[in-house]
Amino acid sequence: MKQRILLIIGGGIAAYKCLDLIRRLRERGYSVRTIMTKAAEQFVTPLAVGAISNERVFTDLFNLDDEREIGHIRLARDSDLIVVAPATADLLAKMAHGLANDLATSVLLATDKPVLAAPAMNPRMWLNRATQRNVTQLKSDGIHILGPAVGEMAERGEAGPGRLVEVPELVAKIESLLARHDITARPLAGRQVLITSGPTHEPIDPVRYLANRSSGKQGYAIAAAAAKLGADVTLVSGPVTLADPAGVKVVRVVTAAEMLEAVTQSLPADIAIFAAAVADWRVAKPKSEKWKKSANAEPPALKLTENADILKTIAQRSKGRPSLVIGFAAETEDVIAHAKKKLKSKGADWIVANDVSPETGVMGGDRNTVHIITRDGVEDWSEMDKSDVAEKLMARAAAHLSQNAAAAE
């Protein structure tokens, strides 16, 4: 059966590229339906789009004939992938805030299918803080973002990030996502996956605490990727400002002790991934009231005690140990060497190592470069979005479980 793509064409000059996109997708055997925003009709006509797609073009939320024949809810569900191209600043903002005031945004809010957005706009619009906030929110919601490309814009004298990616690159990403999200390929269906993410906060007094700069983005991306592969996912999260991944049970904690308790209560699991940046130490006796400064007094000495090692505790369980235990090693020097030591000392099956030196921008950023350390050696991955790291990691974990199950038969 043909895989079905719903293409939402936004109102930007790059809309003309969608004619070539539709043609190339149809050449590859895909069925392409289209929705055009009112603004898109200022750049390409529904007649041209319909002629290339060989399908009727949908434009109006309140068209009685369209609603009677198919309806916007069915449009939202009756596709294998939704592509938004060009995704204008306006469309991205509406998607990020859950608006549904026309056919395109109503479909996007009603869908349960994967969505790929390819931004295209003026460079200053793309770099505006509001747009960047919206894109960050969309990524945390599980929306795939491709681009924009950097180059000359349609406006004279304008250049920078904001061009729609070239059509072959967009086609390649679409094909990759269709293969990844094939509803017949849910290799983790029925599996339990436990993930920790974010920092822990260890109180000094009622208003101060020990912590680190972890944003939780990588752990949240892993949880979303596991859910997309069909797993039942529990995410134990320290304090972060991220939206809950769709289809994931989130348990919120603050301290390392609370995280260990929540992890223990969430077992059994087939896969346990410890991406949280747990504080190594806590204050032995936090003050019950705010610590006040005194004139000419020496700074107070904090007596620290070591927190329990959550990864080691779970990896070395004699009973109920997950089949695959994956730890993270965030290092600032000798990344591989430290990760190899951690693999051995903790008893984990894999260690995902990365360089979190300030110059890398990993802490709080959207991209990551990781190394997978196993007993068989080291696998170096190129730099990619944290969402892509997550999906590649979970695909590898799913394959590992499948191979072990086959070997046991």
**The pLDDT value given to residue 92:** 96
What amino acid positions are annotated as catalytic residues?
212
Cα distance between residue 212 and residue 209, in whole Å: 10
Average pLDDT of the residues in 229-255:
92
DSSP structure string for 191-210: -EEEEEESB--EEEETTEEE
pLDDT score of 207: 93
pLDDT at residue 205 in the model:
92
Structure tokens, 237 = 């999260």
259 burial level (CB within 10 Å; 0-12, 13-18, 19+): buried
pLDDT score at 409: 61
* CB atoms inside a 10 Å sphere around CB 365: 14
Ordered domains of the chain (ranges, CATH): 4-180 (3.40.50.1950), 192-408 (3.40.50.10300)
Q: What is the token pair recorded at 109? A: 């809010």
pLDDT confidence of residue 59: 86
**115-163 per-position pLDDT tens digit:** 999 999 998 999 999 999 999 999 888 899 998 988 877 677 777 888 8
Residue 79: partners with Cβ closer than 8 Å, 6 or more residues away = 4, 5, 6, 33, 111, 113
pLDDT at 169 over 60: yes
Residue corresponding to tokens 């499948």 = 402
- Determine the distance from the C-alpha atom of residue 329 to the mean position of all C-alpha atoms in its chain, rounded to a whole number: 20
Phi, psi torsion values for 153, nearest 5 degrees: -100, 170
CB atoms within 10 A of CB 183: 8
Beta strands in 109-242 (DSSP E): 115-119, 144-145, 149-152, 159-163, 192-197, 202-205, 208-210, 232-237
In order, the DSSP letters of 245-284 are PTTEEEEE--SHHHHHHHHHHH---SEEEE--B--SEEES
Q: What is the mean pLDDT of the chain?
A: 89
Question: What would the mean pLDDT of 349-372 be, rounded to a whole number?
Answer: 88
- Residue 385 identity: D
Helix-, strand-, coil-residue percentages of the chain, each rounded to 5: 35, 25, 40
Please determine, for residue 76, whether its predicted confidence score (pLDDT) is greater than 80: no
Confidence check: pLDDT of 365 > 80: yes
CA–CA separation, 209 vs 238, rounded Å?
A: 13
Residue 65 pLDDT: 57
Please state the rounded mean pLDDT for residues 351-365.
Answer: 85
- This prediction has a pTM of 0.60
Looking up tokens 């991406």, which residue turns up?
Answer: 275
pLDDT at 67 > cutoff 70: no
